[in-house]
Structure 1
Amino acid sequence: MSNFLLIFTVFFLCSKVYCERTKEKIYVDITSSGRSPCFRRLNGTHQIGCTSDPKGNVGVVHYVNTSSDIDWLLEKGPHKPYAVLLSARYFNMGTVKRLQASGKVNGIMVIQVAGKEDKYPPAEAFSPDKSCPNQGYGLYSGNEDYEGCSKAVWNPVGQGLMFQDLSIPIFILTQEKDVDFIIEKCYKKFNERDSAGKARDYPLCAVQLKDRMDGAKDSETCTRRTNHQLNLNPDRYCDALGDQNVYATVKDITNEETRENKSVIVVAARMDSFSMFEDHYPSADNHVSGIVALLAVAEAIGKVKDKIRDSNLTKDVMFTFFQGEAFDYIGSGRMVYDMENNLFPSSVTGKYIQKINFRHISHFVEVNQLAYRDEGKVWIHTDPISRPKLPEVDKMVSDLKDIDPSLVEVADMSLPLPPASVQSFLKKADLPAVVVTDHKKEYTNKFYNSRLDLASEIKANCEKGSNKSECYNTVSEQAKNLTQIADMLAKFLYKLATGENSTNDVVVDENTVNHLLYCYLISPNCELFKQSLSKDKADQLADEPYQFYVGVNTQLNNYTALTNQMLMVYLGDRVENVIAKNCTTDTKKQAVYHEQWIQGPLNENGTRNPYCIRGSANFSLAISKAFEIDGYDFKSRQFSTWTESVWQIDAINVRIFLIPSKKFETVTLSIGIVVLVVSMVIVYLINRRVDVLFAPPGPFQEYRTITTSM
């Protein structure tokens, strides 16, 4: 028996030595940098997105480059299940639904190779969002006159693909070499039908698509399972979406002072978007254009802030950036709740700041998408329900138009507001509010909340062949356009805050706008961000853009932190004659002001002169109250209920391999069984005679031989 174990051990060890080599010969892996999965998210009533079987979904590769390729697969394809490789122009609701309903398709791969649009053309228009975004949680939900975008379909290209429970793995492939390999070495070599339309015979090239998601059913069920599971072991099934809002006031009124009613102008933009695929949230027009414009406004107002601070007759301006707005207004909904309950700013982040609530808000100005001007204008949208009650709205519209008549136009006032954060506030109170955006009616952005809302689409990217320094310092046409918009908004806010008609001192710097576009859309590792951070933090900046997806509420989004930092620099004050170790928060003014040591801009000789900055830019929670209220009704639509499914480290994988015919597999299995049975019989017989076959030599060996001969 011991010899049998020895033989088995040797065989096993030899197998381990060569198993990795064998695996490498069988599979070709698509690296993580070349593929991104569609993943599962959940809300109070549904699960949406994609998932695979625990070990992945396997399908024969079929390349779809024309509509006839789809028809052939559905009508004649004999080798199901298939894994379809799709040109981007065919990735839409209609195609996905047809493939899924056929029962022949086990997974989908979508081609998206940046810089190779001639070879792999992108979609001309694509939005995975609904045609009426955030419709269930906005101001007009339940209103018979305006509900469901009955007056204006804002996102007509939106088919709602993001909100489908697809339940098959879907990936985008982003590397040219991977796509070429699948098409040339896999599909064309083994799978492509002949000129007569006849399918190829085995062996066939297949792919295993794995993106296993653990969350299921809805957010309520998933969070309950997670909470129960945490009592037993640390495994989780889903996490609530959420992050932090960013805000800063020009006046810093402590709770020892009085904040007058209707003394705060809120100017806002959103910070997030979504797409169906992990780490692909470019959002150039969707909200980066608004973020950049509003930060440029903050810089311009910061240069004249003393004129606002030093008078009791001026209004305060609160710059606000909301997170989680793409998911039923998480950030604005939470701020509304906090204001209603006298919790904003919170006691943690604003212990000594005077509270701000609805009675303090005098005006609300929101900037939305700004990069694609409809008819060469920016458009002012107002709420038809509250506007007739508030004459201040007409005054806001008139003042905006007067500042730059060639730029500003008013949208049809009978139309409701487009999806915007201010809707969360107007649900609770009538406020003078306007939304400034680039579309007269329907969106001019044909890639709303999608992976295709790219810097190149709004002409804010580097030209081919230009180096980063040239790109950073060359003002693009988009930067000039946004500068004009930001300048108009800055002058309007200054006039609204001070009552002064002269706004000559309020000027937006087009270089700032250009640098901000570069830093947000091209590379965070840019000079503007570097000079606004400490050296340690600047050294950690990535070369590639961070994600604009809100993420889960367990960690701070990188762009949230950077946006807060830019507000700190633009609205803060330089503290003179202070060294690094003394650049600390004054305990008497804790949470009103805080100090940071930043490294400052580069000098001509390549050195920096770091300095201490004091400001009041801060964070507030952008986490839905649905996950904090015991017994909350997840179907009530009072608060956003979005969660993200958890997946394990090894849950994502794409690999290519050849599969033989069923006949070949059967023969191979049969031979294997025969070899196994014969091997077992031989081992059994050897084991029965082991004392004879493997008897050791000894003193009685000679006696045994003699006895046998007799």
Structure 2
Amino acid sequence: KEKIYIDLQTQNACFRVLNATHQVGCSSKSGGNVGTLHYLESEEDYNWVLKSGPHTPYIVLITSLDFRKDNVERLVNTKRVNGILVLNILNNQSLSPIPTEGFSADKSCPNDNYGIYSNSSDYQHCKKVKWNAAGDGLYFKDYHDFPMFAISNVTDFNVLVDQCYRKFNKPINGTARSFPICAAQLNDRMDAAKDTITCIRRSNHMTNLKQTRYCDAMGDKNIVATTKMVDKSEQRLNKSVVVVSTRMDSFSMFEYEYQNSDTTVTGIVALLSAAKALRPVRQILQNASKDLMFTFFQGEAFDYIGSSRMVYEMEKNSFPYEIKDDVKSSQIVKLPSISHIIELAQLGHRDEGKLWIHTDPISRGSGSASEIEKMIKYIKDIGTEENVSLDDVGPDQPLPPASVQRFLKKANIPAIVLTDHKQQYTNKFYNSRLDLPDFINASYPDDLNETEKYDYVTEQAKALTHVSTVLAQFLYKLTTGEDITPNISQQIQADELEIAHLLYCFLENPVCELFKQSVSPEDSDDLTKKPFPFYVSVDSNTNQITRLTHSILAQYLGERLVNSTKDDCKQPDSDKVCHFILYNYLWMEGSIKSGSSDREGWCIKSTAILSKAQSPAFIIDNYDWLSEEYSTWTESVWSVFKVRVFLIPSESQKVLTFCVGFGILLVSLVVLYLLSISADILFMSAATSDSQPS
């Protein structure tokens, strides 16, 4: 087998996801799709594949510039093409140049049907602003029996181009090469089909007492932490919680290709940094009139999975836990408990040199108007003091796609969304594998080693330091009601080096000191040199981004228990009179011991918890799947992702091989026949010989 096939390293397949009405994405045929490999370097190559080339069907290798919706559909619709390989060697611009006009496989109006404006004649379908101008909706097309893979390393490229295409397939002076020709086989067969409703029904059907899963609900965990601990014996007043949030997820056309520098990482880093900046005033915050709740949502790219689940649980009086008589727990948070919401979206650019404050025009036309105006004034004034230019987009422009829309659908809450764009996204690679650190000034000089990169303060790190400082001081103002004095301003300052570390760990190399000290001993081997995926995936496991963000937030907001071991890093015995879930205890590796390669081990006590980020659609009895109230996204189950190349002989060679094989078979049958009819003579002679006396 190894002499016949060359298996490529790539596992980066386009795969299938489903909602209540459609299947989207890619799937190969059951045995994989096979075709003659052709590298599309020019329009002449396209004409060859689409019109004149004799060795159909083809598997085509295309550049990142050519991977556009119009081009993909031209190749799919011809019926002469059986699959696509996309060059995605991001550290080699000559092989994978970046399209200057941008690329986003998301829609131009993301999450359109699930936000606050879904039924608004004034604002629905992005009537006022097409937020994602680069979005062509490629991700949401169905490519049935048509696989696509990304080629992300030079080794695979060399096999495909040098050992396969140029050696055996590339036409010479417009003439097709003679056999043998080199073919590729693409296999990413998906088990689920049609839509989520059909898939769940099939998965719930028992065959021979065995249940087979065909798809899984998308989802993961939200992260929630408060600065105050309010247990259930205390009262949580209305309008007593300030919520500050961001999202953790994105998507891409290909598995394992989830670069999300501006889409998600800038918001995650800014919110974590703001949490740490507030540590010096934690005692003041614990006695403040309002609680501060840090929230990181998962699954937001797929119709607001995480925020929808949180709002649903708040409405059911079960967030963050369902109150039980025999459990001592924190007091629930309801929608009326929330006084303000601040959401961080994309923060990596500066449209017109500013960050922009977005608000909901419907809320500004209601009783929340005066409070929203105060929020805008407070944060702009703090920004002025910290040399951060902020501006308001105005009262008539609707909110961009944001988690806060799910809250505003259910309650009238003063809310702002902080972004790097005034109208359409400044990020031309939103929800894309091309959302790279280079485009937000978060890349590194070529002559730095990994240790030097870890401590290198990029221009983006400097910019986010100022943003995090403004945010932290603004949150202090909202929760305490106190002005920012020079003394408080001096205490609440984001750490530039810590932000540099966060950017390096999330975007460049997870095998970094911050992540090493933040993981549990069981997870330490999971750290890899390639950035972790920001795709939400399915609900069965908590993904690495969520676990790491949770651990870091716990460190920043919680306390490290001294002289604690792994075995006693849990609720104290004195708290076991009844069940006790006020605090969460995390054991993590910690920093390296002085003069040793061993790590200290830290026990962190904090309010940081993980809550469900699975759509309520999957837990509501007899849910109306077509209502568009909640996300219905599932991910198909699959068995294998594989790309391999091999040689196909000519028809005459095939016939010759068949004839030789058939001839050998006939000769073998004749020999067996002759042996069979002569068996009595042959074996009798042997038996007679054996029976002669010696």
**Do these two structures clear the TM 0.5 threshold for a shared fold by scoring above it?**
yes
1:582 CA drift (Å): 4.1
1:528 CA drift (Å): 1.7
Whole-angstrom CA distance in 2 between matches of 1:30 and 1:257: 60
Whole-angstrom CA distance in 2 between matches of 1:686 and 1:299: 88
Partner deviation per Cα, 1:518-561 (whole Å, 9 max, x = no partner): 12112222222333445554465333322211111111111111
Partner deviation per Cα, 1:301-344 (whole Å, 9 max, x = no partner): 23212112124xx2111000000001110000000100011110
Q: Counterpart of 1:242?
A: 219
Q: Secondary structure at the match of 2:91?
A: coil
Pick from 656, 662, 667 the counterpart of residue 651 of structure 2. Answer: 662
1:688 CA drift (Å): 2.4
Q: Counterpart of 1:282?
A: 259
Contact 1:591–1:616 (Cα < 8 Å) also in 2: no
Q: Counterpart of 1:492?
A: 474
TM-score (norm 1): 0.91
Gapped regions of structure 2 (runs ≥ 5): none
Contact 1:86–1:109 (Cα < 8 Å) also in 2: yes
Q: Secondary structure at the match of 2:49?
A: helix
**1:218 counterpart = 2:195:** yes
Whole-angstrom CA distance in 2 between matches of 1:601 and 1:547: 25
Pick from 657, 672, 686 the counterpart of residue 697 of structure 1. Answer: 686
Partner deviation per Cα, 1:278-311 (whole Å, 9 max, x = no partner): 1111211110110000000111123212112124
Map 1:66-85 to 2 at 5 A.
66-85=42-61
Map 1:110-509 to 2 at 5 A.
110-124=86-100, 125-167=102-144, 168-195=146-173, 197-229=174-206, 232-311=209-288, 314-347=289-322, 352-389=329-366, 390=368, 391-405=370-384, 406-502=388-484, 503-504=488-489, 505-509=491-495
Whole-angstrom CA distance in 2 between matches of 1:450 and 1:540: 24
Partner deviation per Cα, 1:466-517 (whole Å, 9 max, x = no partner): 2111011111111001111111111111111111112412111111111111
For 1:457, the aligned partner's letter is: F
Q: Secondary structure at the match of 2:36?
A: strand
Gapped regions of structure 1 (runs ≥ 5): 1-22, 704-710
Q: Counterpart of 2:551?
A: 565
For 2:52, the aligned partner's letter is: K
Pick from 620, 634, 659 the counterpart of residue 625 of structure 2. Answer: 634
Whole-angstrom CA distance in 2 between matches of 1:514 and 1:325: 26
Contact 1:131–1:155 (Cα < 8 Å) also in 2: yes
* 1:681–1:283 Cα change, 3 Å: same
* 1:692–1:413 Cα change, 3 Å: farther
Contact 2:11–2:641 (Cα < 8 Å) also in 1: no
Map 1:82-101 to 2 at 5 A.
82-101=58-77
Q: Counterpart of 1:524?
A: 510
Q: Counterpart of 1:12?
A: none
1:245 CA drift (Å): 0.5
Q: Counterpart of 1:17?
A: none
Whole-angstrom CA distance in 1 between matches of 2:621 and 2:208: 18
1:699 CA drift (Å): 4.1
For 1:633, the aligned partner's letter is: D
Q: Counterpart of 2:29?
A: 53
Q: Counterpart of 1:7?
A: none
Q: Counterpart of 1:595?
A: 585
Q: Counterpart of 1:26?
A: 4
Whole-angstrom CA distance in 2 between matches of 1:28 and 1:594: 50
Size of the aligned set, in residue pairs, is 674
Partner deviation per Cα, 1:414-460 (whole Å, 9 max, x = no partner): 22111110011111111111100111111111111111112233232
For 1:497, the aligned partner's letter is: T
Whole-angstrom CA distance in 1 between matches of 2:687 and 2:588: 86
Q: Secondary structure at the match of 2:375?
A: helix
Whole-angstrom CA distance in 1 between matches of 2:690 and 2:312: 96
Whole-angstrom CA distance in 2 between matches of 1:230 and 1:545: 41
Structure ID, larger Rg: 1
Contact 2:85–2:151 (Cα < 8 Å) also in 1: yes
1:677 CA drift (Å): 3.8
Q: Secondary structure at the match of 1:267?
A: strand
1:255 CA drift (Å): 0.9
Contact 1:226–1:235 (Cα < 8 Å) also in 2: yes
Deviates more, 1:692-701 or 1:275-284: 692-701
* 1:185–1:612 Cα change, 3 Å: closer
* 1:189–1:361 Cα change, 3 Å: same
1:236 CA drift (Å): 1.7
Deviates more, 1:109-118 or 1:656-665: 656-665
Q: Output the aligned Cα RMSD.
A: 2.2
Pick from 606, 622, 627 the counterpart of residue 613 of structure 2. Answer: 622
* 1:508–1:685 Cα change, 3 Å: same
Q: Counterpart of 2:78?
A: 102
Deviates more, 1:405-414 or 1:596-605: 596-605
1:35 CA drift (Å): 4.0
Deviates more, 1:481-490 or 1:524-533: 524-533
1:605 CA drift (Å): 4.6
Q: Counterpart of 2:661?
A: 672
